[in-house]
Structure 1
């Protein structure tokens, strides 16, 4: 059985402690839960593992086929000013000295953390910002790519931006409207409710230091429909 909390991996130790507390809170519901977190590289396979106890994913993978393979445990509440509970957004960033229209910056080159990322790719598509793109593997790497001139525009998850303290070489040109945040998921339907209870309590019991580095302030429930595939919602 496997569990991961790797969406923001720069804070491994804080996520490890959150899992320890969540696992303890499960008690008799899952006595054989893994004692250590997994830090996956191949998320597509990881999310589809039948023995997945807990992970985090993104709205776009859910809408592209994952929705029918997992159960939503809850949605994080991020401690970022201006965000509704259970939502996040993206900053559209260029180099600080680049005053061109965003459409022109996009046409010169976009840095994308992953092609199935709502915050790093879907928001750009939704804004009509298109151009040649490079896949960087993470929001932090996209920030670096723009700052160093390998690309001219990126959409950066506001949680990552806040955790990294921004980047003086970059300017926030716009911020997208809030969308449902990256949910916690499980492959086990019978564990979705116990995990929600255990994770809610574990987040509430986090130290101030761990709360600061993770950006987590709570857990909420959004309707599963907000993550359902687009075709199903329009049917």
Structure 2
């Protein structure tokens, strides 16, 4: 049976993403696992698919919405802002606000990609919580649908600040620097667990082992070194699921300060 997979989370340059997925198809085939790539606009049903072979999700959906999926592992990124299996978000504003600090954005407008995103929502809520008054910090918070659309909202003066995944920022800087024109970084969130690679609860252990073996070869084989470097992938590891508990802890710590939403 041929199962589907995708790598949707850092699909900045689609040609590069397709090259990565094509490489994985070949590596999995060499291990007796038939796979094909399928792209999805609605990711939660994709991640919950009983027959999901492999996908990349965010740590926040993993701990909040996907209790039954199996953790395959996580990529280590070479993007500035990452350390080991951890990444952070940059606090991004327009260049005209470059001299300000996060505290100066009280009563201004935030934009997030979605409320189930760690990098764009949970991390921003965590860093503003100590600054909030009566559970609020921003005057309003909009939702754009993606980090790229959040950056567009900043450029078009539809919002004033956003938390942007540092890997997304680095990929845009390399591939589409015009999308960062007129924007700057004024701060950062702490490091947190890198985006998890997942498979369905129904995936058997030999297939899970094949997935991990294929991903390990992808990051170690000289044949894929340039492809991984272009994708800012520097390694692959298999942390325990408890590695992602801190994502939920950030939500809980903000709640203790009365901040449950942005």
Instruction: Provide closer, same or farther for how the CA distance between residues 22 and 10 of structure 1 changes in structure 2, counting only shifts above 3 A.
Output: same
Deviation by residue 1:133-189 (Cα, 9 ceiling, x = unmatched): 111111111111112210000000000111111624112111111101101111124
SS in 1 for 2:236: strand
TM-score computed with the length of structure 1 as normaliser: 0.88
Moved more, 217-226 or 49-58: 217-226
Instruction: Provide closer, same or farther for how the CA distance between residues 135 and 106 of structure 1 changes in structure 2, counting only shifts above 3 A.
Output: farther
TM-score computed with the length of structure 2 as normaliser: 0.79
Equivalent residues of 2:12, 2:171 under 8 A apart: no
Deviation by residue 1:96-143 (Cα, 9 ceiling, x = unmatched): 111444244253111101110000001111012642111111111111
Equivalent residues of 1:91, 1:172 under 8 A apart: yes
- Structure 1 partner of 2:34: 32
Provide the C-alpha distance between the structure 2 equivalents of 1:83 and 1:101, rounded to a whole number of angstroms. Answer: 22
Gap regions ≥5 residues in structure 1: none
Counterpart among 1, 13, 16 of residue 11 in structure 1: 13
Instruction: Provide closer, same or farther for how the CA distance between residues 200 and 31 of structure 1 changes in structure 2, counting only shifts above 3 A.
Output: closer
- Structure 1 partner of 2:155: 147
Shift of 1:28: 6.7
Aligned length: 229
Equivalent residues of 2:33, 2:210 under 8 A apart: no
Shift of 1:6: 1.2
- Structure 2 partner of 1:176: 189
Alignment of 1:192-231 (within 5 A): 192-205=208-221, 207=224, 209-228=226-245, 230=248
